[in-house]
Amino acid sequence: MSDQNNSVNLKFCKKCLMSNARPRIRFDASGICNACNYLSEQNKIDYKERIEELKDILKKYKSKKGYYDCIVPWSGGKDSSYIAHRLKFEFGMNPLLVTFAPLIPTDEGMKNRENLIKLGFDHYYFRPNQNVSKLLSKRFFFERGNPKVHWDAGIKSIPLRVSIEKKIPLIFYAEHGESHYGGNPLHKKSSKILDLNEIYENNIGDVPQNWVDEEITEKDIYPYTMPSEDELKESKIKPYFFAFFDKWNVYNNFEYIKSKINFHTHPKGRTPGTFTNFDSLDDHIDQVYYHMQFIKFGFGRASRDASRQLQNNLISKKQFFQYVKNYDHEITTDDILSFCKYIDISTGEFSEIVDKHRNEEIWNKTSNGWDLRFKINEKIINEN
């Protein structure tokens, strides 16, 4: 595809090749994205000091009564398991693991959670009303092309609720996505401590109270609502991001957890839609989520993964090109069927909604179907 249909000014980061179609990403004057700049800043940080700061915090919160010292919001994936394992076995804490259930749980996710729990963790598994969850998934898929908006709210809210109820004020979320992956951190401290306004503005794009309608009541949306700022203050909740204190690297997290437990990767050897096999393994719905990013913004799961690997100098730009070309568009029939069954629609309706979300500045309708107007090509790679 040539660049002649240049109705949108698409740019690619000179370092990681992520496109400016990614929501909230920003580029500096030399064409480098904010995720790459954040990583460069991280590389200059003295993490020995940060770990000392972490140790001081842990010391302060370590329970004297043998009760839980902290909460780890925990999917059972490589990152949150890495955090839980280090807190317990390296720092001698007694964390309570809190899971907001995946929407369509996978066997690998379940096995991985069991394998960590076996090492001696207490686990709180919260599964909200599935009738409501399915209705919300369907609604958000239809309206926003994202079937897990409410899940994004739940994974933030339930650990906060449990923290208040059980009086465990210290929480360790994993990384601050807006800083690490190119987003819109609202202030400088955003990468250290969770900010409710960011959740509303960046993660959910809404307040859950707006989801109430003739089908969904105020009671139904409780699991997705955040405690108020006042409640958090009153209970002295400290919701930190562990990655602030640690030289965060998802590949190292994977290597770490693989050396501690029998960590299951994707059973097919490669997760469809990408070339990796080790992350986002807990929920079948993720396949639809990443596919919809491809539809809405023109970059899929392979682009996301390849871009992160480029940032860390793990692959070449040529490899990036191959991975994106081979896998970005891919979604399996099984994944589509399990999603359609979950929200009770036909595959015909699924395709209709997918097409409704195609951004025509990014997609071109041809006699053979849809084609991306802009693709990473040799020319872009050589220019960068």
Q: What are the residues binding Zn ion (CB under 5 A)?
A: 13, 15-16, 33, 36
**Residue 207 amino acid letter:** V
Contact present, 270 and 276 (Cβ < 8 Å):
yes
Least Cβ distance, residue 330 to Zn ion (angstroms):
23
| CB 376 to Zn ion: min, Å | 13
Cα distance between residue 202 and residue 358, in whole Å:
21
Burial of 126 (0-12, 13-18, 19+ CB in 10 A): middle
CA distance 53 to 35: 24
Cβ-based nearer residue to Zn ion, 253 or 311: 311
Please, what is the minimum distance in Å from the beta carbon of residue 180 to Zn ion?
11
Burial of 333 (0-12, 13-18, 19+ CB in 10 A): exposed
Give the residue with the Cβ less far from Zn ion, 41 or 218. 41
Q: Choose between 80 and 179: whose C-beta lies nearer to Zn ion.
A: 179
Provide, rounded to whole angstroms, the least separation between the CB of residue 310 and Zn ion: 8
Measured from the CB atom, is 9 or 333 closer to Zn ion? 9
Compare residues 15 and 85 and give the one whose CB is closer to Zn ion: 15
CA atoms of 200 and 208, how far apart (whole Å): 9
With vertex at residue 195, the alpha carbon angle to CA 194 and CA 196, rounded to the nearest 5 degrees, is 120
Q: Find the shortest distance in angstroms from Cβ 374 to Zn ion.
A: 17
Judge whether 77 and 106 are in contact, CB under 8 Å.
no
8 A C-beta contact, residue 171 and residue 227: no
CB nearer to Zn ion: give 42 or 129: 42
CB atoms within 10 A of CB 264: 18
* Shortest distance (Å) from residue 175 CB to Zn ion: 16
133 contacts: CB under 8 Å, gap ≥ 6: 103, 150, 151
Q: In 10 A of CB 270, how many CB atoms?
A: 13
Instruction: Quote the least distance from Cβ 20 to Zn ion, whole Å.
Output: 10
Q: How far is CA 167 from CA 69, 75, 82, 129, 344, in A?
A: 10, 22, 24, 25, 39
> How far apart (Å, rounded) are the C-alpha atoms in residues 100 and 259?
26
Shortest distance in whole angstroms from residue 38 CB to Zn ion:
9
Quote the CA–CA distance of 319 and 16 in Å, as a whole number.
Answer: 12
Comparison of 32 and 196: residue with beta carbon closer to Zn ion: 32
Least distance (Å) between residue 188 CB and Zn ion: 20
Nearer residue to Zn ion within complex by CB, 31 or 272: 31
Of 152 and 328, CB closest to Zn ion = 328
Residue type, 323: Y
